[in-house]
């Protein structure tokens, strides 16, 4: 069976400067498969600059890879016909970070819902369109009569973000790419938005790629997780395993940096080592070596491959060397078990 969307050995390299270009590898030989048959929520976690948004843009077809290929229903993205591209645009929907910038302030919020209905011919007449809009809004826990006809500035950030979720759902997509959907929303409203994404996944069988830097929400929402650092996967697997028993020092640092809402837990026991720039994104060694508290000489020479810590978790770190080694392409197998 062909996968719905597949990244195969994708790299994305950005160059800046004309004469001696400074090369930044935003994504390094990354592969990921999203199946239609068993929808999942995959969390992609990492700090700013880890390549997680580049990954999202690749999946949505906003940018092309520098090397490697992106496949949609088994066809290379660059060779899609017009009709297939149209289908792709309906199947893959996006939820972006900023619920303020996603709206045109001159239109009422109905606009973001009516445009896709019109473009994709989802309704035969106005009544049906209105009904569809109402239904989509109710699904994300909003009351249509309070929302329709209003301007973006009259609504709260949480409401606006939920309308964006409703818009994505209107098209009955197969995949939703959610790039930091809750990072600009009040902490108290995050739960409601994540809940609506989660129920949509459950009820409609949509796969979600949840891009975030927040491991706690990733833990609650997703089935499987991929931890990225400077474009390379550090650790991946079933989410409870990775979050509760992190094996890679980078995952541990991420978890240690979460401010827990519990005064008895001390924040940040492991000190953050500053990046001294000795492991650029183009290094052949481990990219985390310059910040790793457990760094060994071999880390700086050859990057570690994945080690299968347990059947549902793989870590790219020599600290897990005692576990069986995995080829890079086997990561997807570990993820699929989650």
Partner 1 sequence: MSADSTGRSGVASGTKPVLSVKDLCVDYYTDAGRLRACDNVSFNLYPGQRLGLVGESGSGKSTIALALMRMIKPPGRISGGRVMVGDDDLTAMSDNEMRSARMRLIGMVPQAAMSALNPVIRIRAQIQDVLQVHEPNLTYSQVQARIIEVLEAVELRPEVANLYPHELSGGMKQRVCIAIAVALRPKVIIADEPTSALDVIVQRQVMETIGRLQREMNIAVVLIGHDMGLMAQFVDHLAVMYAGKLAEIGPTPTLFAKPNHPYTHMLISSLPTLGQKGVFRGIPGITPSLLALPTGCYFRTRCPYVMDVCSSEAPTQVAFDGGHVASCHLSSVPGGLTGRVEAERDAEARLNPANAEKGTGEAGPNKTGGFS
Interface residues toward partner 1, by CB under 8 A: 47-48, 156-159, 184, 186-192, 194-195, 198, 213-217, 219-221, 240, 243-246, 252-263, 265, 267-268, 272
**Nearer to partner 1 (CB atom), residue 256 or residue 330:** 256
Question: Within 10 Å of residue 182's Cβ, how many Cβ atoms?
Answer: 26
**Nearer to partner 1 (CB atom), residue 77 or residue 185:** 185
**Nearer to partner 1 (CB atom), residue 192 or residue 305:** 192
**Nearer to partner 1 (CB atom), residue 213 or residue 300:** 213
- Which helix (H) or strand (E) segment holds residue 252: the answer is helix 249-256
Parallel, antiparallel, or unpaired for β 224-229 and 41-45?
parallel
For Cα atoms 80, 84, 85, give the angle at the middle one, nearest 5 degrees: 75
Shortest CB 34 distance to partner 1, Å: 21
Distance CA 189, CA 185 (A): 6
Parallel, antiparallel, or unpaired for β 175-179 and 207-212?
parallel
Residue 235: what are its φ and ψ, rounded to 5°? -155, 150
Please give the distance of CA 43 from its chain centroid, rounded to a whole number.
5
**Nearer to partner 1 (CB atom), residue 107 or residue 267:** 267
Tokens of 219: 């833990």
Shortest CB 159 distance to partner 1, Å: 7
Shortest CB 313 distance to partner 1, Å: 12
Shortest CB 94 distance to partner 1, Å: 20
Shortest CB 336 distance to partner 1, Å: 19
């Amino acid at each position: 069976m062909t996968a719905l969307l597949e990244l195969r050995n994708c790299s994305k390299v950005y160059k800046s400067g004309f004469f001696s270009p400074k090369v930044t590898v935003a994504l390094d030989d990354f592969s990921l498969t999203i199946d239609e048959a068993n929808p999942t929520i995959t969390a992609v976690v990492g700090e700013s600059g880890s390549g997680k948004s580049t990954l999202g843009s690749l999946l949505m077809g906003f940018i092309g890879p520098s090397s490697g290929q992106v496949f949609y229903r088994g066809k290379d993205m660059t060779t899609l016909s017009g009709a297939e591209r149209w289908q792709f645009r309906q199947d893959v929907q996006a939820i972006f970070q900023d619920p303020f910038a996603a709206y045109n302030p001159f239109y009422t919020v109905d606009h973001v819902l009516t445009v896709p209905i019109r473009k994709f011919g989802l309704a035969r007449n106005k009544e049906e369109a209105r009904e569809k809009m109402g239904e989509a809004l109710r699904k994300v826990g909003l009351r249509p009569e309070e929302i329709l006809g209003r301007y973006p500035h009259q609504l709260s950030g949480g409401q606006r973000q939920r309308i964006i979720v409703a818009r994505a759902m209107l098209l009955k997509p197969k995949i939703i790419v959610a790039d930091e959907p809750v990072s600009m929303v009040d902490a108290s409203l995050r739960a409601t938005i994540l809940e609506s994404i989660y129920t949509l996944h459950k009820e409609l069988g949509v796969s979600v790629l949840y891009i975030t830097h927040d491991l706690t929400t990733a833990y609650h929402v997703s089935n499987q997780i991929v931890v990225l650092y400077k474009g390379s996967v550090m650790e991946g697997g079933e989410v409870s395993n990775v979050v509760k028993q992190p094996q890679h020092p980078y995952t541990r640092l991420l978890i240690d940096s979460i401010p827990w809402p519990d005064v008895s837990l001390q924040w940040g026991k492991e000190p953050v080592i500053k990046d001294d720039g000795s492991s650029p994104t183009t290094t052949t060694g481990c990219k985390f070596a310059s910040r790793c508290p457990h760094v060994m000489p071999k880390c700086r020479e050859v990057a570690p491959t994945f080690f299968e810590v347990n059947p549902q978790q793989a870590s790219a770190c020599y600290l897990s060397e005692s576990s069986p080694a995995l080829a890079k392409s086997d990561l997807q197998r570990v993820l699929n078990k989650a």
